[in-house]
Amino acid sequence: MKNFKKDIRSLSKLELQNFFLSNQISPYKGTQVYKWLWEKGIHDFDEMTNLSLSHRLLLRKNFQIRYVRINNKQYSNDKTIKYSIALHDNLAVESVLIPTSKRITACISSQVGCSLDCVFCATSILKRMRNLNIDEIFDQVFLMNQESLLNFKRPISNIVFMGMGEPLMNYNNVLKAIQKLTSNDGLRMSPRRITLSTSGIPKIIRKIADEKVKFKLAVSLHSAIQNAREKIMPFANKFKLDELLDSLLYWYTKTKSVVTIEYIVWEGINDKVTDIKALVEFCKKIPSKVNLIQYNPVDNFKISEASQDIINAYIKALTFSNIKVTYRKSRGKDIDAACGQLANKLISN
Ligand code: SAH
């Protein structure tokens, strides 16, 4: 039978306090319950050991506790672990745990599927089904943290919103989840260790800049030439590069946080000298650093990474103009866990 009780995790701290007040109980109980839910991540009212039996019964009578759960795990040879996460409605997203000697990064999804149609990204094959709720985003991080402790004996150190979906198309829930993750009642993560990666939606970049958020911003640029960008990221015809640049300048003025430009170099798409020059000019206009991403091939996609010589030419030109650039090896390729390879293969099969 379906459980129609309200999910207690949809209540704010104040609402929880008010619930107890309206039952003639000290509102402080609400604060305690909030901590159990968001700091300790318990799954059952009986685990709330500082609540009396009658208070626990009262909660059970009125609410349910909903959680996401791990559906499947895949281990890569490089120690990356990919998780399929089942949601309340049995849809699924993927989260990835990426360990290095210095840090453990959790790569988190923000939507089920994606409405953008980037021609190089596996997630584009899936239709956007829905946005993730605040708790579904929070829970992925919570689970990744537990898994990190279990597998690597260390908590996660960094969070990147580079999983499935476009976080700025679900910015309300993403921002609220980040608030919870960074708050003292939550995981107490430092916002400086959280990076939100976006395909670049100027209006929303301005909006989050106004909220003076403290996390880092990464933008998937992939081309600094409008026509070329539209070919690989067709939605970019609605968001022109000069508007994007303006919004990034605005972001920097408000947050003083340097933007990371994510960029993949593909054969026949952005492998010319003019492409390199355009990127250098773009980066000169905004405090930024460039993260050249290795292209992770997706089955049946007819697009491939440019030669190392061309990538080196990019690195040389950027370095010559004093623009910081990194080119990192991808992790988890053997289990389709690398950037742009998340497509719920297991679930859809
Ligand atoms: N929608 C957001 C976040 C998800 S994609 C965004 O566009 O930024 C996270 C990163 O993976 C982006 O930089 C994206 O361009 C990159 N990416 C997508 N497909 C990829 C692939 N096949 N190989 C390498 N990186 C890819």
Q: Which atom of ligand 1 is nearest to the CA of 166?
A: 1
How high is the pLDDT of residue 341?
A: 73
- The pLDDT confidence band at residue 162, using thresholds 50, 70 and 90, is very high
For 98, the domain range is 69-335
Query: Is residue 342 one of the residues assigned to a domain?
Result: no
94 labelled catalytic:
yes
How high is the pLDDT of residue 346?
A: 43
The CATH number linked to 88 is 3.20.20.70
51 and 109 share one domain: no
Contact 255, 209 (CB under 8 A): yes
Residues 6-27: pLDDT tens digits? 999 989 999 999 999 999 999 9
Mutate to test the pocket of ligand 1, among 124, 229, 293, 311 (most ligand atoms within 8 A of CB): 293
Instruction: Tally the C-alpha atoms within 13 A of residue 201's C-alpha that lie toward its C-beta.
Output: 15
CA 151-155-160 angle, to 5 degrees, is: 100
Residues 172-183: pLDDT tens digits? 999 999 999 998
Pick the residue with more confidence: 343 or 92? Answer: 92
CA 126-130-134 angle, to 5 degrees, is: 130
CA 19-21-23 angle, to 5 degrees, is: 75
- The pLDDT confidence band at residue 349, using thresholds 50, 70 and 90, is very low
Of 36, 64, 92, which residue constitutes the final position of a domain? 64
Both structure tokens of 202: 């100027």
User: Ligand 1: distance of its center to the CA of 266 in Å?
Assistant: 14
Residues with C-beta less than 6 Å from any ligand 1 atom: 120-121, 162, 166, 197-199, 220, 262, 264, 293, 295-296, 298, 339-341
Give the span between the Cα atoms of 102 and 225, in whole angstroms.
36
User: Ligand 1: distance of its center to the CA of 121 in Å?
Assistant: 6
Query: Is residue 35 one of the residues assigned to a domain?
Result: yes
User: Ligand 1: distance of its center to the CA of 88 in Å?
Assistant: 26
Number of domains in the chain: 2
Contact 194, 158 (CB under 8 A): yes
Beta strands in 62-192 (DSSP E): 63-64, 69-75, 81-86, 92-99, 104-107, 111-112, 130-131, 158-161
Query: Is residue 224 one of the residues assigned to a domain?
Result: yes
Minimum CA distance residue for ligand 1 atom 20: 340
Highest mean pLDDT among 2-6, 232-236, 300-304, 326-330: 232-236
- Residues 6 or more apart in contact with residue 225 via CB below 8 angstroms: 241, 270, 274, 275, 278
Torsion of CA 238, 242, 247, 252, to 10 degrees: 150
How high is the pLDDT of residue 80?
A: 94
Residues 242-299: pLDDT tens digits? 999 999 999 999 999 999 999 999 999 999 999 999 999 999 999 999 999 999 888 8
pLDDT, average across residues 297-314? 93
Residues 65-78: pLDDT tens digits? 988 999 999 999 99
Give the residue from 50, 281, 37 showing the smallest Cα distance to 138.
37
The CATH number linked to 60 is 1.10.150.530
Query: Is residue 183 one of the residues assigned to a domain?
Result: yes
Query: Is residue 27 one of the residues assigned to a domain?
Result: yes
Of 24, 47, 64, which residue constitutes the final position of a domain? 64
Give the span between the Cα atoms of 237 and 288, in whole angstroms.
23
